[in-house]
Structure 1
Amino acid sequence: MKSRIFLALLAVGGAFSAHAADTCSVNLEGNDAMKYNLANIDVPRSCANFTINLSHTGKMAKNIMGHNVVVAKTSDMAGIDTDGMRAGLAADYLKAGDSRIIGHSKVVGGGESTTVSIPVARLVAAGAPLSFFCSFPGHSAMMKGTVTLR
């Protein structure tokens, strides 16, 4: 009986260790209903870089229902979004060289995935509050969340 308990605790401990080792990344999903699966992304200050793995779980093409993920100061979201609409899909709905953008992925369509890695020092330097959002026209109203440094 004691050996079973020990093995169960060992298995649980291993699961926690595997999870703890993966704290410098997060899996984010966007769908055809213009929703992310997360409302907040926790970023440990101990990470050198933080990676967001974005998967578009829907079926619609990127020119119809594309998604990306943009990280910026919350106060900069509206301006980034407005300028991005003018930039168009070929520019991932982001103004070239926009210094307000801390990190961003490309726009993907249904069934596609992309990744963005952001130096945590850039997040710290930007200060709070931070947000993530989709810059596809009209999507940021629903597809947004907070980024929390911990």
Structure 2
Amino acid sequence: MAATPASADPCAATIESTDAMQYTVHELSVPASCKTFTVTLKHTGKLPKTVMGHNFVLGRSADIDAINRDGMAAGAANDYVKPADARVIASSKVIGGGETTTIAIPVARLDAGERYTYTCTFPGHSAVMRGSLALKP
């Protein structure tokens, strides 16, 4: 399912996450004309972030498994993202049920033709909580 912007803004999208370890949007298309692409992540579940936390971490598809592995090792204190990881293009804090966070993706860091993946790096979630992101001309 492709992202439908929450408003008329082509440089923004909203993704919901659930207690069933799912993102409601599995594909984002980012216009190259945007300076920043903003993603709002809403956790529509009820469970706390210590039990069913979700985040949004974007990287090149080729790097995403290593980003996830290093993120899990970084632990909850770092929102399951390795500090200063150059492979991470954008990431959010971990949120729990009823919470919302916003991620600013610097479009200048995206390359046309490159494959990007966003995932939740909370332990055990990355295998099922993934989506693709593409830069469109």
- TM-score, length-scaled by structure 2: 0.91
Listed one character per residue, the Cα deviations across residues 97-122 of structure 1 (whole Å, up to 9, x for unaligned) are: 10000000110000000001111011
Cα distance, 1:21 vs structure 2: 4.0
- 1:149 paired with 2:132, answer no
**Separation of aligned partners in 1, 2:44 and 2:55:** 12
- Counterpart secondary structure, 2:126: helix
**Separation of aligned partners in 2, 1:145 and 1:118:** 15
- Find 2:26's aligned residue among 26, 30, 39: 39
- Find 1:139's aligned residue among 110, 125, 136: 125
- Find 1:24's aligned residue among 1, 5, 11: 11
What residue number does 1:71 align with? 58
What residue number does 1:94 align with? 81
Cα distance, 1:20 vs structure 2: 7.9
Decide whether the 8 Å contact of 2:18 with 2:43 is kept in 1: yes
Structure 2 stretches of 5 or more lacking a match?
A: none
- Find 2:114's aligned residue among 128, 140, 143: 128
Cα distance, 1:86 vs structure 2: 1.1
- Find 1:52's aligned residue among 39, 47, 58: 39
Compute the RMSD of aligned alpha carbons: 1.7
Select the structure that is richer in strand: 2
What residue number does 1:113 align with? 100
Listed one character per residue, the Cα deviations across residues 41-64 of structure 1 (whole Å, up to 9, x for unaligned) are: 110001010000000000001011
- TM-score, length-scaled by structure 1: 0.84
**Separation of aligned partners in 2, 1:149 and 1:82:** 25
- Counterpart secondary structure, 2:110: helix
**Separation of aligned partners in 1, 2:127 and 2:85:** 20
Listed one character per residue, the Cα deviations across residues 64-108 of structure 1 (whole Å, up to 9, x for unaligned) are: 100000110001111111111111111000111100000001100
